[in-house]
Amino acid sequence: MAGEWIPDAGTAYAAGALRRRSKGGILTRRRVAWAAVLLALVAVASFVAWYAFDPPPLPVRQIDKARVAFRDARARASVLAKPEVEEAKLKAAILDRLVAEEQAKPVRFSTNERITQLAYEVERLSREAITKAEAITAQKVKESTSQRILLEARLAEIEPQVQALKGDRAVQRAYRRAEHSVDEVAQAEKIQNLPMMATRIAEASEDVSAAEKALGKRMERFSDPTLRRRWQAWVDETLRSGGTVILVEKKRQKLLVVKNRKVIATFTAEFGRNGFSDKLVQGDAATPEGRYHVTSKKTASRYYKALPLNYPTAADVAEYTAAKRRGLVRGRGPGTNIEIHGGGGKGTNWTDGCVAVRDRDMDRLFQMIDAGTPVTIVGAARLPGD
């Protein structure tokens, strides 16, 4: 066609080569781009895989310390330091929630600093609660110990008289119960059980008071004004008789040998198991009160040596008869065979109604006393030398 340009073979070849190079360049750039994307994906995947298999560690040690401290505080301080324990409980719950959330994440790229902070706060609050509870406990134990020591002192004060009434079952039961209660207070203090301490100290106080009351019933007769006037009259009449006499006082457990109103010997005396009562009937284990005299001197006795007394007197028989008439005793008589004898030194009232002294004291009595020597036994009185 006229005027139309027709490329020659060389030109056509060059154009084809140019088209092929352009197409190859585009493909090369695409490959490079895709390679870059692939490398980026591999890098991201590697990064994620690294943190998935080896994530930043949680503060496990501090979390464990916080949990242990909180459990300890809840066990030891939930009553005495309740506000502190409640605050620690609230923060411990938040801590557990945050830990659970972190552990549930597929991938964790950084440590939750709030967890570390909360763990320290839980531990601190728990320690403070325990410290507060320990201080309160120490103060309560100190107060309980002070009260217990006072109760022990009260028991120690009445113990000699309780021992002297070893045959009095009511007094012995009350005293032993009080002793046991006081021991339980000490045990509660040892394990620092505050509720038990409070309960036991109240019970011990009541039991000690009951023991004192039981003993007081036995001892109150020694303060009875009517009885004291009677006993003092017996003592004064005996002393007016002159010569050598024996005066026996139950309250102070004394046996005095008096010559012409002057005390020449003093011995510790032990009485019947119910010796602080006046003998009324056979078998009551009480030592009689009244004015008597020594009937003989027995060098051989079941209890070393003995000085028998003229019990019962007419006054003793009359007292027994009156009590029987009122229905206070049964008809077994007022009893017999009351002596001053050896075998004493037991530290308690133990006889069936006699007056007992140590064997060596009986030896001295035998040297000072003859048959017919007046013997006056009273509950309590003013004696020579007082």
Q: Where are the domains of the chain?
A: 55-223, 225-378
* Whole-number pLDDT of residue 100: 87
Q: Return the DSSP state at 380.
A: S
Radius of gyration (C-alpha) of the chain in whole angstroms? 51
The reply to whether the predicted model has a pTM over 0.75 is no
227 neighbors 356 (Cβ within 8 angstroms): no
Please give the share of the chain, as a percent, with pLDDT higher than 90: 59
DSSP 254-292: EEEEEETTEEEEEEE-B-BTTTTSBP-STTS--B--EEE
Tell me the CB-side half-sphere exposure of residue 254, using CA atoms within 13 A. 18
For 237, residues 6+ apart whose C-beta sits below 8 A from its C-beta are 291
State mean pLDDT over 324-351. Answer: 89
Give the mean model confidence (pLDDT) for residues 278-299: 93
Full strand arrangement of the beta sheet holding 262-268? 262-268, 254-259, 244-249, 374-378, 290-293
Does residue 249 contact residue 381 with C-beta atoms inside 8 Å?
A: yes
pLDDT at 326: 87
Give the pLDDT confidence score for residue 17 in this predicted structure: 54
> What band does 218 get if pLDDT is binned at 50, 70 and 90?
confident
Average pLDDT, the chain: 86
| C-alpha to C-alpha distances, 136 to 75, 77, 186, nearest whole angstrom | 15, 10, 18
In this prediction, residues 35-63 reach a mean pLDDT of: 59
User: 330 pLDDT band (50/70/90 cuts)?
Assistant: confident
Exposure class string for 321-346: b at 16+ Cβ within 10 A, else e: eeebeeeebeeebbbeebbbbbbbee
Span 165-178, mean pLDDT? 87
Q: What angle do CA 35, 37, 40 make, to 5 degrees?
A: 110
In the chain, the amino acid numbered 58 is: L
53 has pLDDT over 90: no
**Model pLDDT, residue 341:** 97
Taking the C-alpha atoms of residue 85 and residue 93, their distance in angstroms, rounded to an integer, is 12
Measured CA distances, 249 to 214, 255, 364, 379 (Å): 21, 7, 19, 6
47, pLDDT greater than 50: no
Q: Indicate the pLDDT class of residue 59, thresholds 50, 70 and 90.
A: confident
In angstroms, rounded to a whole number, what is the distance separating the alpha carbons of residues 177 and 160? 17
State yes or no: pLDDT of 110 exceeds 80.
no
pLDDT tens by residue, 225-271 = 999 999 999 999 999 988 999 999 999 999 999 999 999 999 999 99
CA distances from residue 274 to 6, 104, 184, 270, 348 in whole angstroms, order as listed = 157, 82, 30, 11, 11
pLDDT at 54: 46
What distances in angstroms separate CA 330 from CA 205, 273, 327, one per listed residue? 38, 20, 7
Report the pLDDT value the prediction gives residue 30, as an integer from 0 to 100.
65
pLDDT at 160: 84
The Cα–Cα gap between 313 and 292 comes to 8
**% the chain with pLDDT above 70:** 83
Provide mean pLDDT across the span 164-170. Answer: 77
Task: Give the 3-state secondary structure of residue 138.
Answer: helix
Whether the per-residue pLDDT at 13 is higher than 60: the answer is: no
Q: Which residues lie closer than 8 Å to 295 by C-beta, 6 or more apart? A: 308, 309, 310, 371
Please report which confidence band the pLDDT of residue 52 belongs to, taking 50, 70 and 90 as the band edges: very low
Question: Would you tell me how many other CB atoms lie within 10 Å of the CB of residue 363?
Answer: 12
33 band by pLDDT with thresholds 50, 70 and 90: low
Say if residue 108's pLDDT is above 80: no
- Fold of the domain built from segment(s) 225-378: L,D-transpeptidase catalytic domain-like (2.40.440)
Q: Please give the average per-residue pLDDT across 359-381, as a whole number.
A: 96
- State the pLDDT confidence band at 21, using cuts at 50, 70 and 90: low
3-state secondary structure (DSSP) of residue 300: strand
